[in-house]
Amino acid sequence: MNELITTLKQEIIEVLNLEGMTPDGIDDNAPLFNGGDPSVAGLGLDSIDALELIVLMERNYGIKLKNASEGKEIFKSVATMADYISKNRTK
């Protein structure tokens, strides 16, 4: 699991072009999206980033989401995303 989390962080940084960020700098449990509320700590990603994460899951792990709204629960944090991937990956 830890290995998957580290890989995933690297992939997120690359796909979302999070310049200057390192895997160590991302808390496993910090929210990826703050819903536009800057007082919530975390990465502060938006709806397009969510779509990019869906593409990432499909390309790298063979997971296909039908609806963008399914991403809401999955992308709460890197930990929840890794958890979902480990249970549903086809590659």
Partner 1 sequence: MAVYIQSAAQITIQSPLCDDWFTSPIRREGRYFRSVEPDFKAFIDPMASRRMGRLLKRAIASAMTALDGYKASLDAIVTGTGLGCIETTEKFLNAMLRDGEQALPPSFFMQSTHNTIGSVIAQRLKCHGYNNTFTHRGTSFDCALQDALAQFELNDISSALVCANDEMTEAYFQLFDQIGYWKTEEVTEAMFHHPTSEGSFAGEVSAAFLLNTQPTQQTLCRIDGLEVLFEPTDERFRQAVEALLGKADISREEVDAVVCGYNADRTNDEVYTRRLTPLFPQTTQIYYKHLFGEGFSASAMGYYVAATCLKRGEIPAHIRYKEGKATQPKHILVYNHFQDKDHSIALLSC
Partner 2 sequence: MGSIVVTGMGIICGLGCGTQTVYDALRAGKPAIGTVRHLRTSHTELPVSEVAMSNEEMIEMLRLPSDRVVTRTPLLGMVAFQQAVKQSGLTDAVRTAFVNGTTVGGMEKSEQYYLEFFEGKHTEYIAAHDCGAGTEQIGRLFGHLDAMYTISTACSSATNALIMGANLIKSGKADAAIVGGTESLSKFHLNGFNSLMILDHEPCKPFDKNRNGLNLGEGAAYLVIETAESAQKRGATPLCELSGYANACDAYHQTATSPEGEGPFLAMTGALNKAGLKPADIDYINAHGTGTGNNDLCESVAIKRVFGDHVPPFSSTKSFTGHTTSAAGAVEAVISILSLTNGFIPANLNFSSAIEESGLTPVTKGLSDVDLRHVMSNSFGFGGNDSSCIFSKIS
Residues that bind partner 2 (CB under 8 A): 46-48, 51, 54-55, 67-68
Shortest reach from residue 58's CB to partner 1, in Å: 4
Shortest reach from residue 20's CB to partner 1, in Å: 6
Q: Residues 41 to 80: which contact partner 1 by CB under 8 A?
A: 44, 48, 51-52, 55, 58-59
Cα-based distances in Å from 24 to 1, 9, 21, 58, 59: 15, 9, 8, 25, 24
Q: Which does 67 bind (CB under 5 to 8 A by kind): partner 2, partner 1, none?
A: partner 2
- C-beta of 49 vs 85, nearer to partner 2: 49
Closest by CA position to 83, among listed 1, 10, 8: 1
Cα-based distances in Å from 55 to 7, 18, 38, 66: 16, 16, 26, 12
CA dist 70 and 45 (Å) reads: 16
Contact residues: partner 1, CB under 8 A = 16-20, 44, 48, 51-52, 55, 58-59
